[in-house]
Amino acid sequence: MEHVGGAVRSVEDWEAQEGAPAPLGATWNHARQGYNFALYSRHATSVTLLFYTKDDLFNPCYKYRLDYLNHKTERVWHCWIPGALIPDAHYYAYRVDGPNDVLAGHRFDRSKILLDPFAVEVFFPESYDRAATCTPGLRTDGRAPLGVLPQRIPHTPVPPFDWGEDVRPRHTSQTIVYELHVRGFTAHPSSEVTVERRGTFLGLIDKIPYLKELGVTVVELLPVHQFDPQEGNYWGYMTLNFFAPHLGYALDDPLDEFRQLVRAMHAAGIEVWLDVVYNHTSEGDQTGPTYSFRGIDNRSYYLLKADRRLYINDTGTGNTLRCANPGPRGLIMGSLIHWTQHMHVDGFRFDLASILTRNDDGSVNTLDPAVVAEISRMASYNDIQLVAEAWDIGSYQLGRTFPGQTWLQWNGKFRDDVRSFMKGDQGLVPAMMRRIYGSDDLFPDTLHDACRPTQSVNFITAHDGFCLYDLTAYDHKHNVANGHNNTDGSNLNYSWNCGWEGDEGVPEEVLALRRQQVKNFFTLLMLSNGTPMFCAGDEFLHTQRGNNNPYNQDNEITWLNWELREKNRDIFRFFQQMIAFRKAHPTIMRSRFWRDDVRWYGVNGPPDQAPHSHTLAYFLRGATVNDDDLYVMINAYWEDLDFRIAERPTHPWLRVVDTSLLSPQDIAVPGHEIELRSQHYLVAARSIVVLRSPRP
């Protein structure tokens, strides 16, 4: 059945005839027993709404062709559909027509069935065919993703959920961020998760006791927004829809199961942050699929080059969202509000966040980009944490350049400097002092700026690049499995294999040094002022076999092998105790910089900041925050060195950490530290020693 929209018949009830331009997406009005549909498309000339039953995904059970005189308000097409007209409909989509003129930036294709960008649930027919969506002029009826109609229940755009007494946890000096992939965390048979729950939101719930045992307080999930199941993507950074949870992470109902996960995390005192990708979509460049944004309004949704034939590619993925345009901007804000209010997410990490600063013409605006201001305002109203990856291919904005004034930022300088220093590179002592202190060169606490060290998200590893063990086991990337002849992934890893490439035939002394280096890295991460983050599996020496870009490896390269936890239980214990140490000493992570509470030293006297130096020590006074005093000695040199401890506190120094020792001597539990009898300590080559003196 097809209907063409006509004139309004009742002045008193015009919205029930024409629909309303807000909210965007599909909305059920229980009082009026009908649906409102709204779609942003500035350049479309014709919009037809299509409905499908569960039994026939090829032939619409009802069509409604919108008339712009009645169903368009400025750039939004909208209509009202009484529920009685579509009693058996379960899915919906659009067919949008307009100019197909690539020189003008238009790629309308009437043959394509198009997914509503605001659909909160996505359905893929069994006959879904990505190749068909990539072929211009080829009909995709029955072969394209569809939106799921909202349930006919009152007062909510998503099905109801019993949140119980759900309260958002919040952590300050206790913040420990743990980046993980929902599928990779439990997909391996060794995860001890039941077969049907492996790699799902529910499987992750089963591992919450492990997260509590480890001591992390924030779980940052790699993208969980719906992506194309036929794209060969594993990480999830090629988003198809920004509202729906990925179907592949659910047994049955992704909305319900994701909310179960968040509720369970909150009950355990763990925050849930999402890694979100509002800088590009999975439609790629001009050769990619047309299943949503491109076919709805290519020029509005994407930044195009000057001749408008090709896409600006500052993301390295084929396209770049036009974030300053009202259409994409509304999409971003709608998505964030949806995940905040209906899914109870606690924070967002923005992939390639510098894209958010692009003007409508693609130029960079670091002064007042509207979407950054709107996101900041939304987060303030909802008590949400914001984290920026403040760079992209065309703009590096780490620090005060990025206009999100209160946002946290992934600190790539911390990663690079710590990696380089611990591998033995020269000239890095001054940089290490900055990184441990909280990176005040990037986040200055001047009267004008008044930045906080917590804005620096300190990390040594993340999903992108070597995992922590591989950082100590490989000098070069080994990405052949990805299918790009080892040309993908970064060539600049600041890694050191400790004298032997890989794990085949590796000598025992090399393995021992690698374990020591892993402990060194994590010790520095836990001792540095700022917000620490590490990658799932680093705590038991997960390896990706030297692959530093396994974005398409949904297999044992990326799945965590939980047998390694038992094999490397000494490393797990070290991580666990080092986290507990940091959480027990608020003097480390402060809301302000240490300033006069820190004094810097070297092996025997002031710090040696010469290019040849590989050593550093410091004293951190804890009295101002009612904490113990700490003394740290760092030897990145390849020979043992006799450090003179430059401070004599009221109480004796107790040795908490010596990364050169075997477990359990490498880190002591409270009350079992070793009291020092001398003001000298022989710090072994490539090791770190941490002392504490109990407060009076």
pLDDT in tens, 592-618: 999 999 999 999 999 999 999 999 999
Radius of gyration (Cα) for the chain, nearest Å?
A: 27
CB atoms inside a 10 Å sphere around CB 424: 13
Q: What is the mean pLDDT of residues 424-430?
A: 98
For residue 174, give every residue at least 6 positions away whose Cβ sits within 8 Å of its Cβ, in sequence order, or none. Answer: 217, 583
687 close to 656: Cβ distance less than 8 angstroms: no
Q: What is the pLDDT of residues 533-582, one digit of tens each?
A: 999 999 999 999 999 999 999 999 999 999 999 999 999 999 999 999 99
Q: What is the mean pLDDT of the chain?
A: 96
Q: Which residue in the list 351, 627, 629, 673 is annotated as catalytic?
A: 351
What is residue 475's predicted lDDT score, i.e. its pLDDT?
Answer: 98
Residue 4 has pLDDT above 80, yes or no: no
Q: Which residue in the list 389, 539, 647, 666 is annotated as catalytic?
A: 389
Tokens 């690079």 belong to 416
Residue 430 has pLDDT above 60, yes or no: yes
| Sign of the dihedral defined by the CA atoms of residues 144, 302, 49, 34, in that order | positive
Q: What is the pLDDT of residues 65-101, one digit of tens each?
A: 999 999 999 999 999 999 999 999 999 999 999 999 9
Euclidean distance between CA atoms 166 and 631, whole angstroms: 41
What does the block give as tokens for 462? 């993340």
What is residue 3's predicted lDDT score, i.e. its pLDDT?
Answer: 62
Q: How confident is the model at residue 155 (pLDDT cuts 50, 70, 90)?
A: low
Q: How confident is the model at residue 665 (pLDDT cuts 50, 70, 90)?
A: very high
Euclidean distance between CA atoms 500 and 517, whole angstroms: 14
Tokens 């990696």 belong to 419
What is residue 7's predicted lDDT score, i.e. its pLDDT?
Answer: 45
- CA of 168: how far to CAs of 188, 218, 408, in Å? 30, 11, 19
Report the share of the chain in percent with pLDDT over 70.
Answer: 98
Tokens 């069509």 belong to 63
Respond yes or no: is residue 389 known to be catalytic.
Answer: yes
Respond yes or no: is residue 351 known to be catalytic.
Answer: yes
Residue 10 has pLDDT above 80, yes or no: no
Give backbone dihedrals phi and psi of 118, rounded to 5 degrees, phi first: -100, 10
Alpha-helix residue ranges (DSSP H) falling in 118-253: 130-133, 182-186, 201-206, 208-214
Q: What residue ranges in 566-686 does DSSP mark as E strands?
A: 598-601, 615-620, 629-635, 641-644, 654-658, 674-675, 680-683
CB burial readout 52-90, b (16+ within 10 A) else e: bbeeebeebbbebbbbeebbbeebbbbbbbebeebeebb
Type of residue numbered 300: S
